A = this chain, B = another copy of it.
Amino acid sequence: MGGAVTPHPETQAVLRANQALYDAFESGDIDLMSALWLDGPEAGSVACIHPGWSPLHGRDVVLRSWSMIMANTTYIQFVLTDLEARVTDDVAVVTCGENMLTDLPVDPDAVPGEAIAGLAGGRAVATNVFRRTADGWRLWLHHASPVLTRDQPEGMGEGNA
């Protein structure tokens, strides 16, 4: 259920590009991350909304934010759920649940990487918009936001579409 989306021949390529965003975040590799985002004449129209943040505009600012976030993340792992890809010839829109496992803040006096207090789970939801380029699908916009399930009325949850 949930969107009788007409399959497009590029759907699998789009889903791979979507997965690559989370792989890059998990690996903390800014070069990998940079390669995923739209570049060239339209680099200024790139946008990114991290959970709870205002929008960031422009490829350089967006990549700087990822550098900061990844530098401040010692461990993160994603399991993506409810992947839905909508694909036209030039633009694709993916929605997914971002189920995260991260380390809890370490003791500030501890040796880095040695004193993980434990692991914490979290859930967000993302809209990822891609542009098709000669080099493949590139991220144009990422919008992630926290899910507060308590606010969602009965019968309006996932899987009810």
Chain B residues whose C-beta falls within 8 Å of the C-beta of A125 in the assembled complex: 49, 53-55, 143
A9 within 8 A of B: no
Binary per-residue interface labels of chain A (87-129) against chain B in the complex, 1 for a CB within 8 Å, 0 otherwise = 0111101010100000000000000000000000000010101
Contact A52 B148 (CB under 8 A): yes
Contacts of A97 in B (CB 8 A): 54-55
For the complex formed by this chain, how many copies does it contain in all?
A: 2
Mark contacts of A132-153 with chain B using CB atoms, 8 A cut-off: 1 yes-contact digit, 0 otherwise: 0000000011010111110111
Tell me which of B2, B47, B54, B161 contacts A149 (CB under 8 A).
B54
Q: Would you list the 7 A-B pairs with minimal beta carbon distance, nearest first?
A: A145-B145, A57-B161, A4-B44, A52-B148, A2-B57, A91-B91, A58-B161
